[in-house]
Every structure is written in C-alpha cells, then in structure tokens.
Homo-oligomer: A and B are copies of this chain.
Amino acid sequence: MSELQFVRVDMAGLAVTMEETPALYRDLGGRGLTSRVLLDEVDPTCDPLGDGNKLVIAPGLLAGTVAPCSGRLSVGAKSPLTGGIKESNAGGTVAQKLARLGIKAVIIEGKPAAGPYLLEINKRGARLVAAGEYRGMGNYALMGILRERYGPRCGFLTVGPAGEHGYALASIAVSDPEGRPSRHCGRGGMGAVLGARGIKVVVVDDSGCAGVDVADPDSFRRVSREWAQGLVKGRKILTDYGTANLVLPMNALGGLPTRNYQAGTFEQAGEISGERLQEVIIQRGGKPSHACHPGCVIRCSNVYHDHEGNYLTSSLEYETIGLLGANCGIGDLDAIARMDRFCDDFGIDTMETGVTMGLAMEAGLVPFGSAGGVCGLLQEMKNGSVLGRVLGQGAAVTGRVLGVRRVPAVKGQSLSAYDPRGLKGTGVTYATSPMGADHTAGNCLPGRTGFRPETSGGFPPHQDEGQDQLSRDLQVMTAVCDLAGLCFFVGVSRENMDVTAQLLGAIRGSSLTGEQVLDLGRQVLVTERTFNRLAGISEVHDDLPEWFRREPLPPHHLTFGVPREKLRKTLEFKEQ
C-alpha cells in the first residue's frame, strides 16, 4: 500500500508542502481525520474566521474504490455558526479524485494579506494561483468557467459570494459529474472558513492516476458487488422520488416543520411531495434520478427543469423542500426550486437559510407563504445590506436581533426539516451531536418512511422513551459512514457495520470486525466532544430549546419529553 500524503497549504506564507501522513493518522479518513487533525492542531478557543482556524478536507477511507456510494467528501473546521468542531460532508466528484491522487487530507491554514486564490491539485503536486478574476462570482458561472478551463475530468470546490462575505451559513460547493454546483458541504459555515483563508476555488485533477491500492482486491470487489446489488433493490423509493419521498410520511407523522415549527403538518404537502416532484420533473424532461458521484447506485439526486424545459436546479432535496417550503408556508415547487438554485449559486446552506427565513416571517418581515418575500430577503443577503448580513449569520443571530423567542437551533445551528417533537430520536441527535442540530449526525427515521427500515428499532418516533439509545447507536454508526466516506443512505445499521469492516479490512489486508469499526465511530465522537469541551461547549449545551418541551405541536399535540439528564449522558463514552 503506497504512502498517502497530506497537502498543507499555508495561506499566510502562500506556500504548499506535501507531507507524509503521520503514522497516528494512517487508519483515519473522512470525518475521523478532519476531527482528529482539528483537535491536534487548532486552538479550540480561536476565532473561527481568524488566523488560528484551519480547514481540513479529507476523502473517506473507501474513497476512490469500487465500493458503492463511497464518494462523500468531509470538510472540517471550527464552525463560525456553532463555535465548536464541525464536519460537513457532501457527494460530488472531488473525494474520489483526491483519493486517487494519493491524498489523505488537505489542510488549509492561515490567512493571506490579499486574495482570493485558487488551489490546484494534480499528480504533479499542488500550487496556489492568484484568482482575483473570480472574486464575487456565483458558483454556477464560476464552475462553468472552471470546467471550460480545466476540462470535464476535474472536480471543483468553490466558495460562493456568501463565503467571501463571511456569512456563517456559507457552504462549500462540490461539483457533480456534470460540473454543476449541486452538492454542498452545507452545514456549519465551512464556506466562510475557506473564504476567510482567501481560497475561492480548489481544482482537483486526477488525470494520469493509477487509482487506490487495495490489498485484497478480489474480496473487496465481491463484497462491494453484493452490497451494491442489495442497495439497488432496497433503495428504490430513493431512486424514484429522491429524498423528497419523505415529505408525505413526515407530514403524516406530524413532524414536517411548518411555519417556523408552529405545526407538524402542512396543508399543501401534496404539492411539494416526492410524488409530485417526480411527476413535474418527468413532464418537463428533467431527471427524477441522478447520481451525485460515479459509483452511486442509489441515485437519489435529481435534475429539475423550469416550465419551459430548461435546467433550473439540481438537486431538490427533502430538507430544502421542508424548510424553504413548508417551514415558510410555501407550497410551490417551482418557487422552492428557484430558491434552491439561488442558494447553490450564492453558496449557502438551504437548511440554515430556510429556518432563518421562517424566523424572519415569524418576526413579521414578510408574511408566511410569500415566495416573493423570501426571494426579497435572499436578495438582501446578496446585496450585503444590514438585514442581509443579519440573515447571513443564520437562525440564532436572526432570532436574537429580530426578537423572536421561538428559535429552532441548538449550539447556534438551526434544526433540519424534522420537528423534534414528531421525530424524537432525531430530536436527541439535534440536542446531543457535537455538530449542533444536524440530522445527518444520526437521523432516527422510522421504518414506514420507506428507505431505512432497519433504523426503526422498537421505538415509535412519538415516544420519549428509548430515543436516547436509538440516537446514540445511530450517531456512532453514522460516524463510521462519515469516516469511510459512505453515503449514509447505504443504511445506518449494525449489519452494514460488518460490511464496512469487511471492506476496510480488504483494503488494509487485515481482518476487521464490525465491533472494531464501531469503536472507530465512538472515537470520532469522543474526539469531537473533547474539542467542544475545550471550546467551552459542554453537556450543558446538549439540549433542545426549552419551548419544544412546552409548546404542543399540532395536530398531535406532541411535546419533547426526553429528560435532560438522559440527553447529557447520551454520548458519554469513556475516553479511549
């Protein structure tokens, strides 16, 4: 197995060096690696947008192999939104290319006197190039130019104008196979951290690379193939309707956030459902199913056209529909698709944005249901007006400035499109994840929502009991997916831990058990909680806003009742 490398980018000195991966980090990848490097190298009390923070980019341990759905890219830094450690991962084409280049991680540190720069990574190494010409450019135009200049074989990471402005809800866009900015490391303001380091673009070119070494290729291929076959059959609902398949089941469950989490069902849910989405996409000649990276067999992404049949956006996801749609009282797919396009282009997280808009509506800035009103607010963000800069800091700051008391955020980050009173396991994840409120850290969907029956456990989602255990198990298994670079739609289950162990073992050429990979997952959480404790975020912050416990959610009159003491202990593992 050839030696993988660290690319260290010193933006203060404008110097790039290639380093051998320290022995300590050889068995780490993805989130496991980003979090560990941050704990080891970054002062947890630093200003996230100041000189001391670092941004770490790492493909997962399975990246670049034939393992299905293994192309997630992890990006980590101290978050300007939460003030704690953050890992945000996305699909797209970059992880696999970095892995094939033999790159274990890219560590970007310091700040230049002026910027922005472009970081070029290819088989000859890595270098910084002045990129003033791209300043202020939206992700669509920018990726269009990059694809023309660098060719369709390259993968791109780009920071939109929001990241250049230092907005705490800024994303990093990752190019999809068509070179579009449809995938985003959305959560936690990673775009602002990269923007503050003076980087606008990372170009990754893996031309001429041999690929990833696997010690036992036969067994790796066999396990991968069997797994892929199961996924193709087992995830049909995701292939057909995308993540938007969740709109109707979540609405039925009473957990679809509606009008700033005032209700759990939306009277226009049918208008924004996965079924309706599929219908509209097919009518207009879009793609109801699309792979965000080569090797994805689930293909939950989509390509949405406007009513004239022209490309509008990709991908329209459940979270975006839930938060820019139902949560703003908007039941119009075209309007939501235009907002999604805006977010992808401007470079912002659709979730933090949707919740922030809901708060602005609750504050009376624009009425619920007004897509024009939301577009006006998005435009304020783009214009950099004071109001736009408030919104650009996300839900917690917006709620505080506008005097809204019902702010759905934990550790400074907004919730996702699952009301924690209707889906209590995910509520525990929101409360306890070191990431702040983030369903991707362990989403406790019950079987009936269709694509992850194995996570339902014995705990109906409206019941308080047992949710802490369910969330803990899912958070550990999700961390395993995140370190392997697997999309968690492969299924966050005990069984898949064994499959992951087999694959990781086949790469190394040594056997590995499911229990051992679960230990790796636990270690990720311990690392992250240690960073947060040193940053001043403790188990006291492992809670939901108090009003979720007090305010009954229509129509099922649900409140969140998992005891605080249980939340504080949910992720209490022994330090290893």
Inter-chain CA distance A400–B540, complex, in Å, is: 24
Can you tell how many copies of this chain the complex includes? 2
Find A538's partner among B405, B536, B546 (CB 8 Å cutoff).
Answer: B536
Q: Does A216 contact B (CB under 8 A)?
A: no
Q: Judging by beta carbons under 8 Å apart, are B405 and A400 in contact?
A: no
Q: Judging by beta carbons under 8 Å apart, are B405 and A386 in contact?
A: no
Q: Which residues of B contact A113 (CB under 8 A)?
A: none
Q: Judging by beta carbons under 8 Å apart, are A540 and B546 in contact?
A: no
Q: Judging by beta carbons under 8 Å apart, are A389 and B402 in contact?
A: yes
Distance of A390 from chain B, by nearest CB (Å)? 5
Inter-chain CA distance A537–B401, complex, in Å, is: 22
Q: Which residues of B contact A50 (CB under 8 A)?
A: 405, 546-547
Q: Which of A47, A166, A386, A535 has the most chain B CB atoms closer than 10 A to its own CB?
A: A386
Q: A390-B386, A400-B393 are in contact. Are A405 and B540 (CB under 8 A)?
A: no
Interfacial residues of chain A within 150-179, with CB under 8 A of chain B in the complex? 165-166, 168
Inter-chain CA distance A536–B538, complex, in Å, is: 7
Inter-chain CA distance A534–B390, complex, in Å, is: 29
Find A403's partner among B165, B541, B543 (CB 8 Å cutoff).
Answer: B165
Q: Judging by beta carbons under 8 Å apart, are B401 and A393 in contact?
A: yes
Find A536's partner among B45, B168, B541 (CB 8 Å cutoff).
Answer: B541
Find A540's partner among B168, B386, B534, B545 (CB 8 Å cutoff).
Answer: B534
Find A166's partner among B390, B397, B403, B537 (CB 8 Å cutoff).
Answer: B403
Find A45's partner among B386, B537, B540 (CB 8 Å cutoff).
Answer: B540
Q: Does A52 contact B (CB under 8 A)?
A: yes
Find A390's partner among B390, B536, B540, B541 (CB 8 Å cutoff).
Answer: B390
Q: Which residues of B contact A47 (CB under 8 A)?
A: 405, 545-546
Interfacial residues of chain A within 520-541, with CB under 8 A of chain B in the complex? 533-538, 540-541
Interfacial residues of chain A within 36-79, with CB under 8 A of chain B in the complex? 45-47, 49-50, 52
Q: Does A145 contact B (CB under 8 A)?
A: no
Q: Judging by beta carbons under 8 Å apart, are A389 and B405 in contact?
A: no
Q: Does A282 contact B (CB under 8 A)?
A: no
Find A401's partner among B45, B49, B401, B546 (CB 8 Å cutoff).
Answer: B401
Q: Which residues of B contact A400 (CB under 8 A)?
A: 168, 393, 397
In the complex, the chain B residue whose C-beta lies closest to that of A543 is B45
Inter-chain CA distance A328–B76, complex, in Å, is: 38
Q: Which residues of B contact A538 (CB under 8 A)?
A: 536, 538
Distance of A307 from chain B, by nearest CB (Å)? 35
Q: Which residues of B contact A535 (CB under 8 A)?
A: 540
Q: Does A387 contact B (CB under 8 A)?
A: yes
Inter-chain CA distance A379–B415, complex, in Å, is: 35
Q: Judging by beta carbons under 8 Å apart, are B49 and A546 in contact?
A: no
Distance of A374 from chain B, by nearest CB (Å)? 16
Bitwise interface map of A from 397 to 423 toward B, beta carbon under 8 Å scored 1, else 0: 100111101000000000000000000
In the complex, the chain B residue whose C-beta lies closest to that of A392 is B401
Distance of A556 from chain B, by nearest CB (Å)? 24
Q: Which residues of B contact A166 (CB under 8 A)?
A: 403
Q: Which residues of B contact A393 (CB under 8 A)?
A: 400-401
Q: A534-B540, A538-B536, A546-B50 are in contact. Are A386 and B401 (CB under 8 A)?
A: yes
Interfacial residues of chain A within 118-153, with CB under 8 A of chain B in the complex? none
Inter-chain CA distance A45–B538, complex, in Å, is: 12
Distance of A364 from chain B, by nearest CB (Å)? 12
Q: Judging by beta carbons under 8 Å apart, are B546 and A536 in contact?
A: no
Interfacial residues of chain A within 273-288, with CB under 8 A of chain B in the complex? none
Distance of A379 from chain B, by nearest CB (Å)? 14
Distance of A113 from chain B, by nearest CB (Å)? 15
Bitwise interface map of A from 229 to 260 toward B, beta carbon under 8 Å scored 1, else 0: 00000000000000000000000000000000
Find A46's partner among B49, B168, B546 (CB 8 Å cutoff).
Answer: B546
Inter-chain CA distance A491–B97, complex, in Å, is: 69
Inter-chain CA distance A397–B400, complex, in Å, is: 9
Q: Which residues of B contact A46 (CB under 8 A)?
A: 546
Distance of A385 from chain B, by nearest CB (Å)? 8
Q: Which residues of B contact A389 (CB under 8 A)?
A: 401-403
In the complex, the chain B residue whose C-beta lies closest to that of A550 is B51
Given A390-B390, A393-B400: 15 more A-B contacts, CB < 8 Å: A45-B540, A45-B546, A46-B546, A49-B405, A50-B405, A50-B546, A52-B546, A168-B400, A386-B401, A389-B402, A389-B403, A397-B397, A534-B540, A535-B540, A536-B537
Identify 12 residue pairs between A and B in the complex whose beta-carbon atoms are under 8 Å apart, listed by A's number: A47-B545, A47-B546, A50-B405, A50-B546, A50-B547, A165-B403, A386-B401, A397-B397, A397-B400, A401-B401, A536-B536, A536-B541
Nearest 7 Cβ contacts at the A-B interface: A536-B540, A386-B387, A166-B403, A389-B401, A536-B541, A386-B386, A390-B401
Residues in A lying within 8 Å of B, measured CB to CB: 45-47, 49-50, 52, 165-166, 168, 386-387, 389-390, 393, 397, 400-403, 405, 533-538, 540-541, 543, 545-547
